[in-house]
C-alpha cells in the first residue's frame, strides 16, 4: 500500500483527499518512481478547480516530482532501478508516494542537484526555457516584461534573464516580492498595487516599451500587457492566475501596432525525449553552475497529507518561489 492525493469532485482545496492505494506495476515503456519531493504548481489548482477538467474522476493530481526509479517496464532502455530522476509531464498522479511515468518523460537528475531542487525547478525551469529561448529568443541587452516575477517561474526567469544578459522588468504585488525579484536578477520591478504597469514600462524604456511580455496572470493584466508592447510586439499569455483571457479583440491588436499574441504550453515544446534532454541539459547546467539558485522556504514544504493547506497558501498569493510536498 502507498499514499496519494486524489479528488472525486472539482472545487476548492477541501476536495483533496489523502488516501491509500495499491500501485500497479509499470506498463511497457514506463518506470515506477518512488517520489522524494513533489512539485506544487499553479496549474494544479486549475485541474483541481475544474478550469482544466481532469480526464475522469476520481483523479490524482500533479505532474512533477523527483525521486528514484524502483521498477522498469518492458522495453525500457535508458533508465534502471536506482537512477535518480525528475519529471514534469507525467499523467496526473504525482502527488503520491510512487508514480508510474513513461520513460520518455523522465530525465536523469545530476548528482549535484538535490531531489528538492529538482522537484522545485523542473516544470518551472522547462517553462522558462521554452519562454525565453524558444517562444521568443531573448537577446543580450533586450528589455522585456514578466508578470509575477517573485513566483516560482518568475524567480527562475529573473536568474535566467540575468545569465542571458537580458533586462527583465518584473511586476509584483508587494515591496517584499519586489526585493526578492531584484535579488534574483530583475533589472527593474513594478509594484502593480501602487503603480500603473504600462506607464512604468514606458518610463523605464524611455517611451519605447518592450518587444515581448510574458503573462501568467491572465485576465487582470491582459490590457496592461498589451499597452506595454511596442509596435509588432509579442504578447505571450501562458497562465490564468486571475482568470482566463476571453473575447480577444483582434482589431485591438491592429490598433496597438500590429501586435502578435500566442498561448503556448510546455506540451507544445517538449514532445519527445530529445526535446526533453535539450531543455533539461541547459537548465541543469545553469543550476549546476550557480547561475540559477533553487531554494525552497521551509514554510513552503508540506507533508503529502497537507496538500489542502499547500493549495490554500498558494492561491492566497502569499507564497514566493516554489512549494513542495514531501512524501512520508
| Residue range 194-211, pLDDT digits in tens | 999 999 999 999 999 999
- For the segment 271-297, the average pLDDT, to the nearest whole number, is 94
- Show the beta-strand stretches assigned E in 62-161: 65-72, 84-87, 98-102, 106-108, 143-146
| Per-residue pLDDT, 263 | 96
Model-level pTM? 0.90
Q: What is the pLDDT of residues 151-177, one digit of tens each?
A: 889 999 999 999 999 999 999 999 999
Rounded to the nearest 5°, which phi and psi values hold at 262?
-135, 150
Cβ atoms 108, 80 nearer than 8 A: no
Give the chain's domains with CATH numbers: 2-121+270-326 (3.90.180.10), 140-264 (3.40.50.720)
**pLDDT confidence tier of residue 128, bands split at 50, 70 and 90:** very high
Q: What is the DSSP string of 182-220?
A: HHHT-SEEEETTTS-HHHHHHHHTTT--EEEEEESS-GG
pLDDT of residue 241 exceeding 80, the answer is no
Q: Per-residue pLDDT tens for 10-54?
A: 999 999 999 999 999 999 999 999 999 999 998 899 999 998 999
pLDDT value of position 328: 86
Using the predicted structure, report yes or no on whether residue 110 has a pLDDT greater than 90. yes
Q: Residue 188, preceding bond cis, omega within 30 degrees?
A: no
Q: What is the mean pLDDT of residues 291-309?
A: 94
Query: How far lies 245's CA from each of 98, 124, 222, 225, 233, in Å?
Result: 36, 21, 7, 12, 18
Contact 143, 210 (CB under 8 A): yes
Residues of the chain with pLDDT > 90, as a percent, come to 89
What the block records as the C-alpha cell of 160 is 535566467
Is the per-residue pLDDT at 215 higher than 90? yes
Backbone φ, ψ for residue 47 (5° rounding):
-70, -45
Amino acid at each position: 500500500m502507498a499514499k496519494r492525493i486524489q479528488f472525486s469532485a472539482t472545487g476548492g482545496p477541501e476536495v483533496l483527499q489523502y488516501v491509500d492505494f495499491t500501485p500497479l506495476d509499470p506498463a511497457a515503456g514506463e518506470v515506477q518512481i518512488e517520489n522524494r519531493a513533489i512539485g506544487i504548481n499553479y496549474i494544479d489548482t486549475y485541474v483541481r478547480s475544474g478550469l482544466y477538467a481532469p480526464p475522469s474522476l476520481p483523479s490524482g493530481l500533479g505532474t512533477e516530482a523527483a525521486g528514484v526509479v524502483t521498477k522498469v517496464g518492458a522495453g525500457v532502455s535508458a533508465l534502471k532501478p536506482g537512477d535518480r530522476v525528475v519529471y514534469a509531464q507525467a499523467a496526473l498522479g504525482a502527488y503520491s508516494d510512487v508514480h508510474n511515468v513513461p520513460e520518455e518523460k523522465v530525465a536523469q537528475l545530476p548528482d549535484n542537484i538535490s531531489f528538492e531542487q529538482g522537484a522545485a525547478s523542473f516544470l518551472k525551469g522547462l517553462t522558462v526555457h521554452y519562454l525565453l529561448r524558444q517562444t521568443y529568443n531573448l537577446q543580450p541587452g533586450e528589455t522585456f516584461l514578466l508578470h509575477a516575477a517573485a513566483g516560482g517561474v518568475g524567480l527562475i526567469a529573473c536568474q535566467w534573464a540575468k545569465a542571458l544578459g537580458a533586462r527583465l522588468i518584473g511586476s509584483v504585488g508587494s515591496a517584499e516580492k519586489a526585493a526578492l525579484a531584484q535579488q534574483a536578477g530583475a533589472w527593474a520591478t513594478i509594484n502593480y498595487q501602487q503603480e500603473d504597469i504600462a506607464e512604468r514600462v514606458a518610463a523605464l524604456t524611455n517611451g519605447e516599451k518592450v518587444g515581448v511580455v510574458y503573462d501568467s496572470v491572465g485576465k487582470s493584466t491582459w490590457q496592461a500587457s498589451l499597452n506595454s508592447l511596442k509596435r509588432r510586439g509579442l504578447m505571450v499569455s501562458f497562465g490564468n492566475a486571475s482568470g482566463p483571457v476571453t473575447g480577444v479583440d483582434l482589431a485591438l491588436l491592429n490598433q496597438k501596432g500590429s501586435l502578435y499574441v500566442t498561448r503556448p504550453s510546455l506540451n507544445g515544446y517538449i514532445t519527445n525525449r530529445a526535446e526533453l534532454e535539450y531543455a533539461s541539459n541547459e537548465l541543469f547546467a545553469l543550476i549546476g553552475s550557480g547561475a540559477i539558485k533553487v531554494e525552497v522556504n521551509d514554510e513552503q514544504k508540506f507533508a503529502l497529507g497537507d496538500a489542502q493547506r499547500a493549495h490554500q497558501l498558494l492561491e492566497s498569493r502569499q507564497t514566493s518561489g516554489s512549494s513542495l510536498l514531501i512524501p512520508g
